[in-house]
Structure 1
């Protein structure tokens, strides 16, 4: 309710101000016609120069390049109108023929204005300095022809009034203005709608003013007053058009660009904040996983040490105790024993010593795979399959090799070996399979290793690092990432599992001391 009443008041203020202004000018015209015409003339001169100032200073940030042409044209119009005021009878007495000179400057200004508006829609990309220079030459030419050469056609004769040239020129100028109005309306899509409305209204007011002045000779009548009001309104409307297209619209576009930039910045900030939040969450989860993984590794280390301790205590200690007993018996019974009994006792001792040797070799190999360093990756994997087959006799293990290169960097080879070793252990301990196949496939730049089993498989989505049985998978992924290899675990419940490792071979040539042999 309050907003509506405020809008109504704002709409009523402008007509009230215009009515008051017209009334004041009317009273001034009744009191002193010369002052009235001088006031309107000064107003149009000031507006002309303001049009130039606005058009010239907005040329760098407006898309309407024709404004510079319009500003240069109204500079010439303003100067000629100013000379018209100076020469006007009653303002100053330059010479006895000042009334004719005043009318001549008037007609010159109107021709410049009419022709310029006619050319306005055609001239868009002319250099602004050359345009300003041309209008300076035009202004100088009219001034010289009127004041010094005195070759400009006579427009006013004392005792007779305005000449036919002056009246017909008014009609011709009106025709030029109407044609320019039509051209602007035809090419209205080249300009902003508000600019077209203001400029069209200004041209129409100018044309009506020229027709009234040419038609009604009485300079003291109401029609002459109306013509001057229309002329003042026409300059103001052109000024409004220039303000809108040269000042308001660029700043509106600039404000829209700023708002769009702000919105884009806000979106970018929100996007960055989302990324930072996501990365922070991922880092926190990764940190928790690393902490959990470290704890699991320490637990596995303790379990491995406990396993080694049990093997040392139960297997090796018991076998050493058995050896001590057998050797003690042999030593006691040696004086009275025959050769065959001694040989039998020594054979049992030798068998136990051989088992001890194999046991210690296996334990040593599990801790540090010497075959990897001595014989290469393939032989180390084959030996690992042999060890697992010894522990899991019901599982058939095979190792197939195809076009293998001769060597691989040491750090890469140990990581590949540990991944294969962990895959074999997981398959043997958890899959319930009856067959495991290790397959090596070499290509020019890559090496593919697959460990396949026909076991029960598992659901990858249910793999959780907190599960004790999944710690091995986490270690495999860490080792694959360490050598920048691609590790894929393809598994389907009850249909087996395939662990695929894609290793990108280094391009640099390796020294023999820096590599492990494959074969």
Structure 2
């Protein structure tokens, strides 16, 4: 009787052991199932996020490309249409001024028209030049930036110190770098109230480095990171198109420092 009871007890222990092992295996299976399921969900979400970023990047590139085409069209219209008509007005006015049959009062009015026409023509040329600097197409980025800095120095009180090296970039990417620096200078003048700017553009074997510093009023970088203004949005967008990185250092009352690093395309 005792032996029979011990045999039944042994069988029960074996059953319990197997049942425990089965439960452990089942629990492990459930855990692994949820783990791999969650992993797949995360991978899918990551793929969606990457696709969203790529889509935003394409939209961004298209938007900036359209913007540059529109600038080019407006610049050509200003040069070919408006400037040519203003030149005709100027020449005609000069001819009328030289006419001896016209009275003094009429000549004074014509001279005023000529003065306004000349001023408008100069403004038209400057706008067209800012929209699409011809020197960039003819002589490249370095020459275009030197001309840009000279124009700012002549027409404002700002002092710009610079050291520029030639970069191995396509014309399109040179235009992006030109727009970035143009926007940075405008921001330093308009928002930063700076009167000194330093620009370093350095060519490296695998890319280039651009450092821009001013002595303006500075700003809170934490607030800027939360919400970028239109100017910084454009700068950041063009840096992304160049596949580069943008680092901003600034404190209120201590000026601003922008460091841009971009790789060269293989």
TM-score w.r.t. the length of structure 1 is 0.38
Is 1:398 the counterpart of 2:161? The answer is yes
Q: What per-residue deviation string (whole Å, max 9, x for no partner) do you get for residues 293-328 of structure 1?
A: x8xx99xx89xx7xx99xx99xx96x9867655542
Larger radius of gyration: 1
Q: 1-side partners of 2:227 and 2:11: how far apart?
A: 78
Q: Does 1:483 align with 2:251?
A: no
Query: Which of residues 148, 152, 159 is equivalent to 1:388?
Result: 152
- Aligned counterparts, 1:304-453, within 5 A: 325-332=93-100, 359-392=123-156, 394-402=157-165, 404-405=166-167, 407-453=168-214
SS at match of 1:431: coil
Q: Which has the higher strand share?
A: 2
Tell me how far 1:498 sits from its aligned partner. 1.8
Q: Secondary structure at the match of 2:197?
A: strand
**For 2:227 and 2:221, how far apart are their aligned partners in 1?**
14
Aligned counterparts of 1:465 and 1:360: Cα–Cα separation in 2: 38
Within the candidate set 466, 483, 504, 2:263 is matched to 504
Deviation of the 1:375 alpha carbon? 0.8
Change (3 A) 1:252 1:437: same
- Which residue does 1:254 correspond to in 2? 25
Number of equivalent positions: 239
Distance in 1 (alpha carbons) for counterparts of 2:227 and 2:262: 28
State the superposition RMSD in angstroms. Answer: 4.5
> Please, which of 227, 231, 239 is the counterpart of residue 472 of structure 1?
231
Q: Residues 265 and 243 (structure 1 numbering): CA distance in 2 closer, same or farther, change over 3 Å?
A: same
CA contact (8 A) 2:90 2:118 kept: no
1:32 paired residue number: none
Corresponding position of 2:111? none
| 1:465 and 1:474 in contact (8 A); partners too | no
Choose between structure 1 and 2 for higher RCO, CA contacts under 8 A separated by at least 6 residues. Answer: 2
Structure 1 unmatched runs, 5+ = 1-228, 335-349, 508-519
CA apart distance, 1:429: 1.8
1:400 partner SS: strand
Distance in 2, matches of 1:504 and 1:387, equals 30
Q: TM-score, normalised by structure 2?
A: 0.69
